[in-house]
Structure 1
C-alpha cells in the first residue's frame, strides 16, 4: 500500500484517486456534499447525477375534440404518445424522443401563457402541435370536420389517485387554415431583388 503513494507515478496515482473520490462525492444527493462542488472553481469534478437537480414529477398530456359541419362537438380524445416501457428499451429507446417533444412543447407553451394567448399562438410549439393535430384529425376522421380544439393537462404519471389538472384550452382551430398574409414587399434596388 505504501508503494502506491511513493515511487514513479505516485503523483498521478494520488491525483487520480483524489479525482475519483471527489467525483463520487459530488454525485451524492445530500447537500453536505455540495460544498466540495462549490470549492471546485475550475469544474474539474464532473456532475453525473442520473436525474436532474429537480426531476420532473408530472407528465403532460394533450387532448383534442372536433367540431363537425353540423356544429356538433365530439368528446375529448387523448393523444397517446407515451408508450408503456419494455425491457429492450433499457438499451434502445428511440421513441423516447416523442415524449421529450411533448414535454418541450408543453413547457414552451406554458412559459408564454402569462404573456397572453396572442403570444402563445406565435410560438413554434403552438404551431407544431396544431399542425400535428390537424394531420391526426385529417387521417382519423372520414370528413365533415370543420375544426378542432385541444387541451393541455398535467398529471402525476402512474399515480392515478390524483385528477389531471387542465392547464390550457385552445380556441377552435379550422381544419383548413387561412394562408398567412405576406408581410414583406419585394423591392428592387441597384438591379437586385431585396425583401424588406
Structure 2
C-alpha cells in the first residue's frame, strides 16, 4: 500500500468518523485554553460541558491579600488595640506538591470576597444577613477564644484590610469594619420570653 493511500484511509477509511471527532475535540480543547475571549465561543456552545478547561491561572488573578484584624471589648468597657490574625504561613518546599493546610486560608478568602461584594451592594447591614458573614464571625470568635479566653472579653469587632502582599509601596486599605459582636452567643433559653 502506498503511503498516500494509507494517509487517505486515515481520514476516509473505517473508523474515520471517530478520528475526525477526536481531532475536532483536540483542536477545540486546545483553542479553549487561550485567554482571549474569542476562543471561549466553543465552550459557550458546549451544552454538555464536554470541552475541558485546563487553564492553570485565573483570568483575573488576585493581586492583593486580605488581612483580618480584630479588637476586643473587655468587661470594664475598655477596647484593645487591633490585632492581626496570622493566616498566611511561610511556605515549605513540599507544599509545592501537597498543600492541604492552605484550604482554610482559601476558604476564609472566598468567604471574605462574598461579604465584600454584598457590602458594596447594600452596606454592612446587608452583608450581616449572609451565612458567609456568620461563618467569618465564628472564625474570629474562635480565634479570640483561643488567643485571649472567653471570660474576660465581652465582645469583639473585626476588620478586613487589603494589602498588596510583598509590595511595600502600596498602603493597606480598610475594606470592611464589623459592628461589635457579643463574645458569648445567646442561648435559646436566654432568648425565650419570660
- What band does the TM-score fall into relative to the shorter chain? 0.7 to 0.9
> Please, which runs of 5 or more residues in structure 2 have no aligned partner?
1-5
Q: Give the superposition deviation at 1:35.
A: 4.7
Which residue number corresponds to residue 167 of structure 1? Answer: 175
| 1:82–1:98 CA contact under 8 A, matched in 2 | no
Contact 2:65 2:163 in 1 (8 A): yes
Q: 1:68 is matched with which residue?
A: 74
Secondary structure, aligned partner of 1:150: strand
**Matched residue SS, 2:100:** coil
TM-aligned CA deviation for residue 42 of structure 1:
6.2
Report the counterpart of residue 134 of structure 1 in structure 2.
141
TM-score, L = length of structure 2: 0.77
Question: Quick one: which of 152, 155, 176 aligns to 2:160?
Answer: 152
| Change beyond 3 A, Cα 1:11–1:151 | same
Measure the CA separation in 2 of the matches of 1:60 and 1:134.
18
**Given that residues 23 and 46 in structure 1 are in contact (C-alpha distance below 8 angstroms), is that contact kept between their aligned partners in structure 2?**
yes
Aligned to 1:12: 18
Q: Distance in 2 between matches of 1:121 and 1:19?
A: 46
Alpha-carbon RMSD:
2.7
User: How many angstroms apart in 2 are the aligned matches of 1:58 and 1:96?
Assistant: 17
Relative to structure 1, is the Cα distance of residues 116 and 182 closer, same or farther in structure 2, using a 3 angstrom cutoff?
Answer: farther
Deviation of residue 79 (structure 1)?
A: 1.1
Q: Which 5+ residue runs of structure 1 have no aligned equivalent? A: 184-196
Matches within 5 A, 1:32-181: 32-37=38-43, 44-113=50-119, 114-141=121-148, 143-179=151-187, 181=191
Tell me how many residue pairs correspond in the alignment: 183
- Asked if 2 retains the 8 angstrom alpha-carbon contact of 1:60 and 1:102, the reply is no
TM-score normalised to the size of structure 1? 0.76
Would you tell me which structure has more helix in proportion to its own residues?
2
